[in-house]
Copies of this chain bind each other. A is one copy, B any other.
Amino acid sequence: MIGIGIIGYGYWGPNLVRNFAETPGSKVVAVSDLRQERLRLAGLRYPGTKLTTVHEELIMDPRVDAVAIATPVSTHFDLAMGALRAGKHVLVEKPLTASSEQAKRLIEESQRRKLVLMVDHTFVYTGAVRKIRELVIQGELGDIYYYDSVRVNLGLFQHDVNVVWDLAVHDLAIMDYVLPERPKAVSAAGISHIPGNPENIAYMTLFFDGNLIGHIHVNWLAPVKLRSTLIGGSRKMILYDDLEPSEKVKVYDKGVMVDMNGESIYQMLIGYRTGDMWAPRLDHTEALRTEATHFVECVEESKRPITDGEAGLRVVRVLESATESMKVKGRLIEL
- Select A146's contact among B157, B219, B246, beta carbons within 8 Å: B219
Number of copies: 4
The reply to whether B221 and A232 contact each other, CB–CB distance below 8 Å, is yes
Which of chain A's residues 178-194 have a Cβ closer than 8 Å to chain B? 185, 187, 189-191, 193-194
Cross-interface CB contact of A187 among B224, B256, B329, cutoff 8 Å: B329
Count of residues in A whose CB is under 8 Å from the partner chain: 70
Cβ contacts under 8 Å, A278 to chain B:
276-279
A123 within 8 A of B: no
Q: Is the C-beta of A45 less than 8 angstroms from some C-beta in chain B?
A: yes
User: Are the CB atoms of A189 and B201 closer together than 8 Å?
Assistant: no
Determine whether the beta carbon of A145 is less than 8 Å from that of B187: no
Which listed segment binds B: A59-67, A114-122, A148-156? A148-156
| Shortest Cβ distance from residue A151 to the other chain B in the assembled complex, whole angstroms | 13
A112 adjacent to chain B (CB < 8 Å): no
Known contacts: A187-B330, A193-B211, A332-B331. The answer to whether A223 contacts B217 by CB under 8 A is no
Interface string of A243-265 (1 = CB under 8 A from B): 10111001011111010000001
**Inter-subunit contact A189/B217 (CB<8 Å):** no
